[in-house]
Structure 1
Amino acid sequence: MTASRILLPKKTLSPYVSKELRDVTKEPLLFRTDKGALAYGYDATVLADICEAILSARSNDALSKQQKHIAEKAEILVRAFARVGIVALVDEATGFQTDRGHDALRLLLERYIADGLQKWIHTFPDSFFAELDRLYDNAPTSARSRPQYYSRFINKYVYDPIEHGYVKAELDKLNITDEGKRRARFHQWLTSEGRTILTRQIGKVEGMMEMCSDIEQFKEMVKRRKAVTVAPYLFDEMKKIIE
C-alpha cells in the first residue's frame, strides 16, 4: 500500500497528488535499521509532499467531515517543517551547523510537532465513558451527546482529588475567560508530565468504576477509600503567556 493510500482514500486525494509523488510512493527505499534489520521507507520530502496534497484537498473542500482532522495534523507538520527549515538555513548561512549536534534538528522538529499535536491526544479513553454510561444506566453516548453531569463527575472524581483540588483550582484560573466561558478542555493545559499523572488518575477512577454495578455503589466506594494525591504541579507557564 502506498503512503498516499494510507493517509486518505485514493478517490479523495488522487486529483491533488502529482505524478512524481505517485511514482515515488510506489517505489519505497530499502534501508537497514540501527539494529541491522531491512526496512522500507521514503525520502523525507515525501511526507511534506503528502501533507501539501492533503491541504490542497482541504482548500478545495474535497475532504469529508471525518477526514478533516487529518488535514489539521498535516498543517501542524508543515508548520513544523517550516520552522526547522528556517533554523537550518540560518545555521548554514552563519556556519553554526558545524557546532550543532547531529540530531539537534530532529529533536527540534519533534518538539514543534509535539507542541502542535498535544491538543489531539485522546486523554479520556472511550472505555472511561462507556463505564459512565453503564453506571448511570444510559444508552451509549458520544462526545456530542454526553450529559452535563458527566463533566461534574470528572471534576469531582478525577480532577478534584489531585492535590486536594489545588490543581483543579489553578486550571480554573487559567481556563476561564472574563465572560465565564472555558478556553479549552482542562487536559489541553497540561504539560506532558501532568498529562501522564492525569492519565494515571483516570485509570484509577476507571478501575473503581469497573468494580461497581451502578453509580450509587461507586459513590459509596469512594467514601470508603482515602483520597490518593499525586504530583502537585501538572501545568506549565501558560498563565504567563495569557497575561
Structure 2
Amino acid sequence: MHHLEAANTPVSSQADVRLDVSALPRISHHGTVRFGTLEAAAVVLHDGRRGFLAKQFAQVLGYIEKTQGRRFDRFLADFAPKYMIGKVKAGCPVLNPGHGRAHFIEAEAVMEAVGNVLRAAIAGKTHKQQARQVSACVEINLALGMVGLVALIDEATGYQYHRAPDALQDLISKLIRQHASDWQRQFEPDYYSALAKVTGTAFTSGAHGRPPIWGAITRKWVYEVCFPNEVLEEMRGRQDVGEKLHQWLTDGGVATLTKQKEAVRLLAVSSANYKDFEARCSVTFERPGQIGMIYQDAA
C-alpha cells in the first residue's frame, strides 16, 4: 500500500509553457502559515480558493529541490487520490502578480493527504524513506482541522479583512443543513475510550451514563475549535429535543468535525494525564491555558 507508481507528470512540465497566462487564476493574497516548527507559503486565489504554493509545500514535506516535482506528484497520487481524480499533476498553474507563474495546491488536498499518511503510519504501512513526510503530517495534523486551516490562511494572508459581508451566511450555508439528518454515530468507541483513559473515568460501550467531562471536552476541543461561535449558535437554535448537533452538519461540516475529533483522540491517547491533555490542546489549538509544560509523569 502507498507504493504506487505515479502516472502524474512533474510539476515543472514544459507543457505549461503553452498556457495563456492571462487566463490563469490569480493569487490575490499571500502569507506564511506555521505548523509548529514548519512554515509554508499560503495563498488565496481571486476566486476565494485557499491553499499553498506547491513547490514550497513539497519542501515542507521534506522533498529536496532536484527531485521534488515527481516525488510530490507521487505522494499526492498515493495519499490524496480523491483530490487527484482527473488531475494530471499535483499543482495547477496560477498567476502570482510580480513573480510570474506558480503552482497551487488546494487546502483540501493537504488535509486528505495528512489524514491518509497518519492512518497508514498507524497501520505500519509506511516505509522508512517516508519518515520525514510522516513527521511533517503529524505536525500539520496537530495544528489544524479544515475550518482551522481556512482561518489560518485567512489570518496569514490578510484575506479575513477582505471577505464579502455575507461571508458568514455563506459559511453557515456550507456547514449547516436546512433540516436535521437521521442520526448516525459520529463519535466512535475509540474516541470515548481515549477520553476515559486521559480523564481516569470508566468506559462502557453503551450510549448512556457517559461522564459529563466527556461532553465538556467534546464541546471545548472539538465543536468550539471546529466552528465559529456564530455557526454553533445557529445550530443550537435549530436543534430540537433529542437531536444531536452533528445531525445539522452538512457533509463538509461532518468532514471537519471528523478531522478535529481524530486530532483530539490522538492527543488524548498520547497525553500522560488530564492536565497534560489540556495543556497540549491549549498549545495545539491556540486556546488560553497552561502552555508548553511537560509533566513529570509524562516521562
Instruction: Check whether TM > 0.5.
Output: no
**Greater radius of gyration (CA):** 1
TM-score between the two structures when normalised by the length of structure 2: 0.33
TM-score between the two structures when normalised by the length of structure 1: 0.40
More helix by share: 1
